[in-house]
Chains A and B, each alone.
Chain A
Amino acid sequence: KQEVTQIPAALSVPEGENLVLNCSFTDSAIYNLQWFRQDPGKGLTSLLLIQSSQREQTSGRLNASLDKSSGRSTLYIAASQPGDSATYLCAVKGYGGSQGNLIFGKGTKLSVKP
């Protein structure tokens, strides 16, 4: 059964720092991996989608990488800002009967201090 782990569970950094959030998954048979952002009490906003055939995707200050063989993904945030404070979730979409099912990690809660 697919399991997704995110480390660290929480992270606090000063404004301006570059940072990396980690996501690992146990089964490499995935269609894609998606990173989300969740603000307190709010819904999930999709940040980046990496297909299984891709190695990385970029959007603005965000860069996500995928190493399917080792079951790892990273989300790199450059020049962090207080507005980046949120919980970041990664989710994998796997093969099998429920072909749209996303398996989520428990998230990394990021706090960027001014």
Chain B
Amino acid sequence: EAQVTQNPRYLITVTGKKLTVTCSQNMNHEYMSWYRQDPGLGLRQIYYSMNVEVTDKGDVPEGYKVSRKEKRNFPLILESPSPNQTSLYFCASSFGGPLNTEAFFGQGTRLTVV
């Protein structure tokens, strides 16, 4: 089954404690990205990757890091989480470029930073 898998689904952590949210896709997609969703602000892109070892900032990259060492995986790293990073996070994947194929989303990770 084609899917994007995020882990964990729920996470409560304390300010400053480094954490990683994993994302994996099984569709051989080149393009992967991370979004955060906040009430009243909608979905905003954090980082994206157009292929292995190619990453770039989205609209709200501050406080986040990513890596793309393998095509299927795209972890999101919070080196020093702060309460303003409390949010619902989504990983997405698709074929890149002009190909008109749909984007697939993970089930989301609800992060609370206290």
List of B residues within 8 angstroms of A105 by Cβ? 42
Beta-carbon contact of A42 and B102 below 8 Å: no
- In the complex, the number of residue pairs spanning A and B with C-beta atoms less than 8 Å apart equals 71
The complex places the Cα of A11 from the Cα of B58 at a distance, in Å, of 31
CB distance from A23 to the nearest CB of B (A): 12
| B: contact size bracket | 20 to 34
Beta-carbon contact of B100 and A51 below 8 Å: yes
Which of A46, A98, A107 contacts B103 (CB under 8 A)? A46
**CB closest residue in chain B, given A46:** B102
Beta-carbon contact of A99 and B31 below 8 Å: yes
The complex places the Cα of A44 from the Cα of B37 at a distance, in Å, of 11
| A: contact size bracket | 20 to 34
Do A32 and B100 form a contact, CB below 8 Å, given A44-B90, A99-B31? Answer: yes
**CB closest residue in chain B, given A97:** B56
Binding site for B on A (CB under 8 A): 31-32, 34, 36, 41-46, 49, 51-52, 89, 91, 93, 97-102, 104-107
